[in-house]
Amino acid sequence: MATKAQVLYDFTAEPGNNELSVREGETITITNQSIGGGWIEAQNSRGEVGLVPEDYVEVGKPPAFAAGGSVPPIDLSFFDSHATASNTQGQTSNGNDPWAVFDTNASGGFSNNWAAQPEGTETGQSGSNAWGSGGHGHPHAYPGPGAEDDEWDDEWDEGKSGGFGESETSDGGAINRGGAHGSSMKITLNKFPGFSKSGPELFLLSKLASKGPKLSIYSGEVGPVWEYTEPQLDCVVADPKKGSKMYGLKSYIEYQVMPNTTNKPVNHRYKHFDWLYERLLEKFGSAIPIPSLPDKQVTGRFEEEFIKMRMERLQAWMSRMCRHPIVSNSDVFQLFLTYKDEKDWKMGKRKAEKDETVGVMIFSTIEPEGLPDLDLLEVEQKCEQFSRFTKSMDDGVKDLLTVGNEHWKRCTGPLPKEYQRIGKAFQNLSSVFTSSGYEGEATLTDALTAAGKTYEEIAQMVAEQPKKDLHFLMETNNEYKGLLGCFPDTIGVHKAAIEKVKEADKLVATSKITAGEKVTMGKRVSTMSYALQAEMNHFHSNRIYDYNRVMQQYLEQQVKFYEMIAEKLRHAHSQFTTM
């Protein structure tokens, strides 16, 4: 008897890949469950047969979408007052804008940030939330650790999370312009192993002595700073190659990644980048904003321009990670860049997936060197200041992106068409003049034709210019939009910790914690604050560098553009008779 299955998520088949498009809620018949590589063969009600991602269907059960429901309840019983209230509030506030939580409840309960997440998870399905797009909230989009031990051979394909990207509806000229890099850091409840133990209290009241190397924070000119090592790590992402598997049924793109430390290239598919992203998010996400990877995309995955754009964005993402002193020196990042062979990679992967210093525990490895403990008020003020700044900058960046998008459309759409029509009108008039039969107007008609052609050339220049300047301005701002989208999560962790420390007196009074534990909590929230300040200073320094560079590049190209137009017109002008 054939096995029936419920489709959990929309899946759009890629043409020519033996895949079958299915819709959420549809019932399909599994015709071959042993295809392997994360795929099953199924038949829909219209009798069409094709491959469907295994994770997209549930055999014999109705679909369950309440993502929050699968999350183990948090044991916050001894923090009853704030937790319950703000959790409720968070869930009823606008889940599409994580800032809204801070806006409407500035004194922030510690669970606000977390509370906003499950809702984000639910609404993420719509795919249009700039803060949570890109596979956000798809329980199976990013397989958890341990689930793909055989991942190197097994093909869980990046295509599986299809239907989320905005790319398919993006307007001509720009691939994914609006959506890419736009997603926030994905600290979702089910991302952290053992979530119930991952609240800030885990670190604040931790009795574990932290193991391994320390992440030092020093007092720099601008305030607390991370330890920067020289030379700065960098890498080149290049040479995308198409590979195939499952006897040619499925294909993929492999990129070459070469770090400046070894100059030895390693190969990685998008899914490996995604694995790295998941590890970095797990390990550093509470302290460091880890921006999402460029959006996934199913259709046209092998289209040349898309591959080029994805590579460019993977390059930007890797460069940003390389520039981060903590991220770039981490074992998992080094593994990604310098693994020797498949065995090395597999061992490293397993080790990384077993790393227990993740979530808030990252703060246990941070050591402010020779910096005095901060009082809670200062910690809170800094946190509020960063929250305000990142919110404002997020607004500013989004504003620029909106304007830039419109300008892009105009420059690649109506404007060049108009210059072309002006050019055609001049040339047309020139033809008419030529037909006059009047002697001696060749100079005029030649000049008029040349002027017409010049405007056609200008039309083409105008249409191509955005790729030469606006593109980089947009990419940089998209990157920043992505980065800034991570701050609500990161800052949320800090706000939650602050709230807990505020309750310390009450907890001592009710003998929930000892006086010594209260002191420890104060010290630890101070460490967290130094980490946040070091991170903000890192952010600011990069921001200044990035915006200086991108504005220079933009303006330089703009100058060239206008100069070239002027030069072309000057030439066109010179062809008319001086009278």
Binding region: 269, 271, 310
**242, 410, 506, 512: which one contacts a copy of itself (CB under 8 A)?**
410
Of 222 and 519, nearer to a copy of itself (C-beta) is 222
Number of shown-chain residues binding a copy of itself (CB under 8 A): 68
Characterise 221 by phi-psi region: left (phi > 0), alpha (psi -120 to 50), beta (else): alpha
Of 251 and 387, nearer to a copy of itself (C-beta) is 387
Of 214 and 570, nearer to a copy of itself (C-beta) is 570
Contacting range for a copy of itself; rule: CB under 8 A; set: 17-25, 92-100, 176-184, 414-422: 414-422
Q: What share of the chain is helix, strand, coil (3-state, %, to 5)?
A: 55, 10, 35
Distances in whole angstroms, Cα of residue 253 to Cα of each of 51, 72, 158, 269:
19, 37, 10, 6
What is the footprint of a copy of itself within residues 362-401 (CB under 8 A)? 385, 388-389, 392-393, 395-397, 399-400
Q: How far apart are CA 9 and CA 56, in angstroms?
A: 6
Q: Least distance in Å: CB of 325 to a copy of itself?
A: 17
Q: Least distance in Å: CB of 159 to a copy of itself?
A: 36
Q: Least distance in Å: CB of 421 to a copy of itself?
A: 5
Residue 62 has a CB neighbour count (10 Å cut-off) of: 9
Bridge partners for 235 per DSSP: 259
Of 48 and 395, nearer to a copy of itself (C-beta) is 395
Of 70 and 431, nearer to a copy of itself (C-beta) is 431
Beta-carbon-side half-sphere exposure of residue 119 (alpha carbons within 13 Å): 20
Select from 542, 12, 484, 512 the least CA-distant residue to 225.
542
Q: Least distance in Å: CB of 123 to a copy of itself?
A: 27
Give 220-238 as a DSSP string: ETTEEEEPP-SSPP-EEEE
What is the footprint of a copy of itself within residues 551-570 (CB under 8 A)? 551-552, 555-556, 558-559, 562-563, 565-566, 569-570
Check if the beta carbon of residue 309 is closer than 8 Å to that of residue 214. Answer: no
Q: Least distance in Å: CB of 116 to a copy of itself?
A: 23
460 binds a copy of itself (CB under 8 A): no
Q: Least distance in Å: CB of 548 to a copy of itself?
A: 5
Q: Least distance in Å: CB of 447 to a copy of itself?
A: 7
**421, 467, 468, 523: which one contacts a copy of itself (CB under 8 A)?**
421
What is the footprint of a copy of itself within residues 425-444 (CB under 8 A)? 425-426, 428-429, 431-433, 435-441, 444
Of 331 and 446, nearer to a copy of itself (C-beta) is 446
What does the block give as tokens for 556? 């330089």
Provide Rg for the chain, Cα atoms: 28
Of 312 and 446, nearer to a copy of itself (C-beta) is 446
Q: How far apart are CA 538 and CA 549, in angstroms?
A: 17
Of 280 and 536, nearer to a copy of itself (C-beta) is 536
Give 327-344 as a DSSP string: HHTSHHHHHHHH--SHHH
Q: Least distance in Å: CB of 228 to a copy of itself?
A: 16
Residue 202 has a CB neighbour count (10 Å cut-off) of: 18
Q: Least distance in Å: CB of 448 to a copy of itself?
A: 7
Of 263 and 578, nearer to a copy of itself (C-beta) is 578
Angle between helices 515-574 and 470-484 (to 10 degrees): 170
**422, 457, 461, 467: which one contacts a copy of itself (CB under 8 A)?**
422
Q: Least distance in Å: CB of 376 to a copy of itself?
A: 20
**Cα-based angle 305, 309, 313 (whole degrees, multiple of 5):** 170
Burial readout 3-15 (b: 16 or more C-beta within 10 A, e: otherwise)? eebbbbbbbbbbe
576 binds a copy of itself (CB under 8 A): yes
**4, 214, 308, 540: which one contacts a copy of itself (CB under 8 A)?**
540
Residue 517 has a CB neighbour count (10 Å cut-off) of: 16
Q: Least distance in Å: CB of 130 to a copy of itself?
A: 17
Looking at residue 212, the DSSP 8-state letter turns out to be S
Q: Are strands 39-43 and 27-36 parallel, antiparallel or unpaired?
A: antiparallel
Contacting range for a copy of itself; rule: CB under 8 A; set: 77-85, 149-157, 247-255, 538-546: 538-546
Of 509 and 579, nearer to a copy of itself (C-beta) is 579
Check if the beta carbon of residue 535 is closer than 8 Å to that of residue 544. Answer: no
**106, 208, 222, 515: which one contacts a copy of itself (CB under 8 A)?**
222
Please provide the distance, in angstroms rounded to a whole number, between the alpha carbons at the two ends of the chain. 93
Check if the beta carbon of residue 235 is closer than 8 Å to that of residue 323. Answer: no
Contacting range for a copy of itself; rule: CB under 8 A; set: 78-86, 104-112, 516-524, 550-558: 550-558
Q: Does residue 231 have a cis bond before it (omega within 30 degrees)? A: yes
Of 169 and 402, nearer to a copy of itself (C-beta) is 402
* Torsion on CA atoms 299, 300, 306, 311, rounded to nearest 10: 70
- Binding footprint of a copy of itself on the chain (CB under 8 A): 221-222, 385, 388-389, 392-393, 395-397, 399-400, 403-404, 406-407, 410, 414-415, 418, 421-422, 425-426, 428-429, 431-433, 435-441, 444, 447-448, 451, 536-537, 540-541, 543-545, 547-549, 551-552, 555-556, 558-559, 562-563, 565-566, 569-570, 572-573, 576-579
